[in-house]
A and B are shown apart, each in its own frame.
Chain A
Amino acid sequence: MVAMENHKAEIKNLSFCYGQTRVLKNISFSIAEHRVTALIGPSGCGKTTLLRCFNRMHDLYPGNRYEGEIILYPDAFNLLSKRMDPIEIRMRISMVFQKANPFPKSIFENVAYGLKIRGVCDKHHLSQKVEEALKNAALWEEVKDRLSCLASSLSGGQQQRLCIARALATDPELVLFDEPTSALDPTATQRIEELIQELKKKYTIVIVTHNMQQAARVSDYTGFFYLGELIEFDRTDILFTNPKVKKTEEYITGRFG
């Protein structure tokens, strides 16, 4: 399968149940460090559910159950273990949501949020980190003069980049993107795709997308999911040109989805 690169995370026999329904079935693959891994598949195949297992978002709602492991390197923690504190996990893994959800605060306060809840008070340090994060998110030039303006004054694409900056400000070990451009226009989408390519130099990225072409453009590794199972996982160039499983080929050629 996939080897020869450093693993940032390894998913082993992951299953997930909403109440009585088994939504994810025995999933295993690895996330390579400093690479973009895309999860694709038709709607309802469980890719967002899988993504939300990484930062234990399912813990917020009652009636869910994890089985299997997600091992995070280099410390080799099992993220799904009951002994792991979800709050600590979420401080180390960041998420960007499908629809931009900036807080009703200023641009500066939004990006600084993650740092402030960790108890960082030093104004100078905060300004530095905010500027760095906004530069990494390719938003600094557009907002550097209005950091105290409300985040809601930004356009949709800018708000999403703000959410990316917010996610990056805390130096996460893993950045999760849940269909980040599905609510944006093509220009904004392109900017964010370019940004993701830049970001992988510093961060490890997992992206869920229902847009196959986006996965082909942006990712290094791709996993194809169908009805809660991982059908095929390989390097993007191989998966899209020479898929080994028939179902993958059918999805990629548009026979269903």
Chain B
Amino acid sequence: MTPLKNIIRKNKFLDFLFIVLSSFFLLFSLLMLTLLILDLAVTGLPRISWAFLFSFPSRFADKAGILSAWVGTTCVMGVTALTAIPLGIASGIYLEEYAQKNWMMHLIEINISNLASVPSIVFGLMALGIFVYTLGLGHSILSAGLTLGLLILPIVICTTREAIRAVPGYIREASYAVGATQWQTIRDHILPYSTGGILTGIMIALCRAIGETAPLITIGALTFIAFLPHSLLDPFTVMPIQMFNWTSRPQEAFHVNAAATGIILLGMTLSMNAVAIYVRTSFRKKIQW
């Protein structure tokens, strides 16, 4: 019996070591995240002031601000949302409710899943060729919004599909049984019940778009904009690009500006994520199947 007990003891010890190792990894990851947030906060928070929020960028670090950047972000996000939301929800509805499982649907699904993993900068290249030059939209807010809208489209489509899929089959059957058409069923039953999931997906997608830098650099968003855009076809900058620009400068003072921008960006993305999760759980509570 003793050799068996020894083996069991050894096995249990290895089990224990694994727990130690994985706890260490978990703590390490959380520590890195905390350090990142703290570093940005300590450097950047003091810099945030009304002046900072409402000044244009400048050659002098202490006079520079992010006005053009956050206005740019807001305008671009508007176009992005207007592009991605209708297209994404419409595609999601079609694929879940109407499409038959033939080669065409298969092709569309493969496309969506592939697009979800295409590097964002490649989207920027496509946008450069098509929106900026071929369609002549120039290095503008419109090009940027369209680019990001197409970039986050797969996310909106997938989350819409999941939300619709979660609606039980008997709801559909009950609706058809009283003589409703397919669209009426979708409009009156499926969509209202999947609103929570769809909204969550939209928030997550927009949250991703806010932080995107590479594709916008590629389509020519400038890094030094000292005016506010007047139309969708005007040049612009966005907050991530402004942060990138300041990070790349050698002077310490610009790094502080970058940290301030960073903490605002982080605050926006993390709170949007939190809102998305809250929306998801509160809708889940309202509708109990």
Q: Do chains A and B touch in the complex (CB under 8 A)?
A: yes
Interface residues of A (CB under 8 A from B): 85, 87-88, 91, 117-119
Tell me which of B2-10, B84-92, B207-215, B232-240 binds A.
B2-10
A42 to chain B, nearest CB (A): 31
Across the interface, do A88 and B11 meet the contact criterion of CB distance under 8 Å?
no
Across the interface, do B10 and A119 meet the contact criterion of CB distance under 8 Å?
yes
Q: Tell me the total A-B contact number using a CB cutoff of 8 A.
A: 14
A91 to B8, CA, bound (A): 9
Query: With a CB–CB cut-off of 8 A, which chain B residues contact A118?
Result: 4, 7
A81 to chain B, nearest CB (A): 16
B1 to chain A, nearest CB (A): 8
Across the interface, do A87 and B12 meet the contact criterion of CB distance under 8 Å?
yes
B241 to chain A, nearest CB (A): 49
Across the interface, do A91 and B11 meet the contact criterion of CB distance under 8 Å?
no
B221 to chain A, nearest CB (A): 51
Query: With a CB–CB cut-off of 8 A, which chain A residues contact B12?
Result: 87
| A-B contact sample (6 more), CB < 8 A, given A87-B11, A118-B7, A119-B10 | A85-B8, A87-B8, A88-B5, A117-B11, A118-B4, A119-B7
Leading 4 A-B pairs by shortest Cβ distance: A119-B7, A118-B7, A87-B8, A88-B8
Q: Which residue of A lies closest to B15 (CB)?
A: A87
Query: With a CB–CB cut-off of 8 A, which chain B residues contact A117?
Result: 11
Among B5, B8, B10, find the residue whose CB has the most chain A CB atoms closer than 10 A.
Answer: B8
A3 to B7, CA, bound (A): 37
Query: With a CB–CB cut-off of 8 A, which chain A residues contact B8?
Result: 85, 87-88, 91
A180 to chain B, nearest CB (A): 27
7 A-B residue pairs with Cβ-Cβ distance under 8 Å, sorted by A, are: A85-B8, A87-B8, A87-B11, A88-B4, A91-B4, A91-B8, A118-B4
Interface residues of B (CB under 8 A from A): 4-5, 7-8, 10-12
Query: With a CB–CB cut-off of 8 A, which chain B residues contact A85?
Result: 8
A117 to B8, CA, bound (A): 9
Query: With a CB–CB cut-off of 8 A, which chain B residues contact A87?
Result: 8, 11-12
A119 to B3, CA, bound (A): 10
Query: With a CB–CB cut-off of 8 A, which chain B residues contact A88?
Result: 4-5, 8
A117 to B4, CA, bound (A): 11
Q: Which residue of B lies closest to A119 (CB)?
A: B7
Query: With a CB–CB cut-off of 8 A, which chain B residues contact A91?
Result: 4, 8
A118 to chain B, nearest CB (A): 5
A87 to B13, CA, bound (A): 13
A90 to chain B, nearest CB (A): 10
Q: Which residue of A lies closest to B6 (CB)?
A: A119
B4 to chain A, nearest CB (A): 6
A87 to chain B, nearest CB (A): 5
Query: With a CB–CB cut-off of 8 A, which chain A residues contact B10?
Result: 119
Q: Which residue of B lies closest to A75 (CB)?
A: B1
A242 to chain B, nearest CB (A): 43
Query: With a CB–CB cut-off of 8 A, which chain A residues contact B11?
Result: 87, 117
Query: With a CB–CB cut-off of 8 A, which chain A residues contact B5?
Result: 88
A136 to chain B, nearest CB (A): 21
A104 to B4, CA, bound (A): 26
Q: Which residue of B lies closest to A91 (CB)?
A: B4
A91 to B5, CA, bound (A): 10
A172 to chain B, nearest CB (A): 13
Query: With a CB–CB cut-off of 8 A, which chain A residues contact B7?
Result: 118-119
B6 to chain A, nearest CB (A): 9
A41 to B11, CA, bound (A): 39
A87 to B9, CA, bound (A): 10
A85 to B7, CA, bound (A): 13
Q: Which residue of B lies closest to A92 (CB)?
A: B4
Query: With a CB–CB cut-off of 8 A, which chain B residues contact A119?
Result: 7, 10
A55 to chain B, nearest CB (A): 15
Q: Which residue of B lies closest to A120 (CB)?
A: B7
Q: Which residue of B lies closest to A117 (CB)?
A: B11
Among B4, B10, B12, find the residue whose CB has the most chain A CB atoms closer than 10 A.
Answer: B4
Q: Which residue of A lies closest to B10 (CB)?
A: A119
Q: Which residue of A lies closest to B12 (CB)?
A: A87
B7 to chain A, nearest CB (A): 5
Q: Which residue of A lies closest to B7 (CB)?
A: A119
A4 to B8, CA, bound (A): 36
A118 to B9, CA, bound (A): 11
A118 to B5, CA, bound (A): 10
Query: With a CB–CB cut-off of 8 A, which chain A residues contact B4?
Result: 88, 91, 118
B14 to chain A, nearest CB (A): 11
A91 to B12, CA, bound (A): 14
A119 to B10, CA, bound (A): 10
A115 to B207, CA, bound (A): 52
B95 to chain A, nearest CB (A): 33
A88 to B6, CA, bound (A): 11
Q: Which residue of B lies closest to A118 (CB)?
A: B7
A179 to chain B, nearest CB (A): 29
A85 to B8, CA, bound (A): 9
A167 to B11, CA, bound (A): 20
